[in-house]
Amino acid sequence: MFCLKRISSAKIKQIDMLRLRRLSYLFGYNNSIKVSFNVPKVVNLSIHHFKWTRSKHFTNHNCLFELQARTISFEPVFQFQQNVFQKLSESTIVDYSKHLLILIHDSTGLPWFASIILTTFIFRSLVTLPLALYQAYILAKLVNLSPEMKNILKELKFETKVAIHKFNLTELQTKRLFKISAKKQWTKLIERDNCHPAKASLLIWLQIPMWIVISVSLRNLVYMLPGNDPVAQIRYLELSKEGCLWFPDLTTPDSIFLPIALGIINLAIIEIQSLIRLKEKSKLEKIITNVFRGFSILMIPIAAAVPSSLSLYWLSSSVYGLGQNLFLMSPKVKKMVGIPKTSTSIDKPYSHLMIQIKNKFSSH
């Protein structure tokens, strides 16, 4: 610490102004610095370390520098996320899901790793498989409507040309009339066959929330939430000892095998759905496919950071999804559940898939 004794008041003000200019230069604040001086005529001037705090104040015994700066605070975002996770963690549906996991574990007598896999397969079989079959049924009906709709559009174009000369319509009016008529005809077709495209989206609207709820339920079991009671501690101890193979503790992350396997399986699902198509993809479909590829890769580091019970559930769900996709490709299965045959149906889908895979790898 350095001290300068018996300095005049004018000199002190001059020194303080120099210090102010230095701070203004160093931190880039020119016009928005407030300075408060409380200087006696004769003082001991000490040089202290300035302290940077969240309120953006530099404090000294004899002066206060308040730096008014534009800052970006992420605290509201983090607080919002925390509130959402807390409400979800304490929600009734998550509590029911957690107790169902415990019920399956206790009633079957299986270790926790097997209980998680079994629960995943039960949920997927009871919820997502029927919806996947229904989705395939709706999409097949929509494909079969395409030829009929094309014929209707041809007739509408002819009628529109007649209307142009009969009613002296402008080009803009003609386009509007054509779009309105086409939309009405398409609505009539999907109402007639009861195959509204929104029905095909039921699968994703139920599968994603179910995935989130079970993930949060497992998270609550691992972290003994929402209340750290003796029962929660017992479940935690069970999870810590009822893993298998290289991940005996389901409360700690597995940073290698489970995450990598999850990424590979998810990418395999995306590539199979892409290769089995006969039609060329549109630009939007290509973008969506690449987004899902990126998400599958992003899930690898996320799965490496969470407890292995969660990554095991995610891997089990993805393995089931891969099997489900291969199962629904079968013409026999489609015929058995009443999914109509379409112009895009493949008689030998598995042979076609193998040829596509070979062509993809040979081209590289």
**Does 180 reside within a domain?**
no
Beta strands in the chain (DSSP E): 3-5, 33-37, 44-46, 57-59, 63-67
Domain that holds residue 37: 3-67
**Does 358 reside within a domain?**
no
Domain count, the chain: 1
- Please report the pLDDT score of residue 15 as a whole number: 55
Give per-residue pLDDT as tens, 317-343: 999 999 999 999 999 999 999 999 888
| Mean pLDDT score across all residues of the chain | 80
- Please report the pLDDT score of residue 177 as a whole number: 84
Provide the 3-class DSSP secondary structure of residue 326: helix
- Whether the predicted model's global pTM rises above the 0.85 cut: no
**Does 15 reside within a domain?**
yes
Q: Is the pLDDT of residue 309 over 60?
A: yes
The whole-angstrom separation of Cα 101 and Cα 214 is: 9
- Please report the pLDDT score of residue 268 as a whole number: 94
The DSSP annotation for 60-80 comes to -SSEEEEE-------HHHHHH
CA 343 to chain centroid, in Å, comes to 34
Range from 10-24, 155-169, 219-233 carrying the lowest mean pLDDT: 10-24
**Does 327 reside within a domain?**
no
- Please report the pLDDT score of residue 303 as a whole number: 93
Give per-residue pLDDT as tens, 91-124: 889 999 999 999 999 999 999 999 999 999 999 9
**Does 28 reside within a domain?**
yes
**Does 63 reside within a domain?**
yes
**Average pLDDT value for residue range 60-88:** 62
**CB–CB of 105/112 below 8 Å?**
yes
**Does 50 reside within a domain?**
yes
Q: Is the pLDDT of residue 52 over 60?
A: no
**CB–CB of 293/267 below 8 Å?**
yes
**Does 149 reside within a domain?**
no
- The H or E element spanning position 341 is none
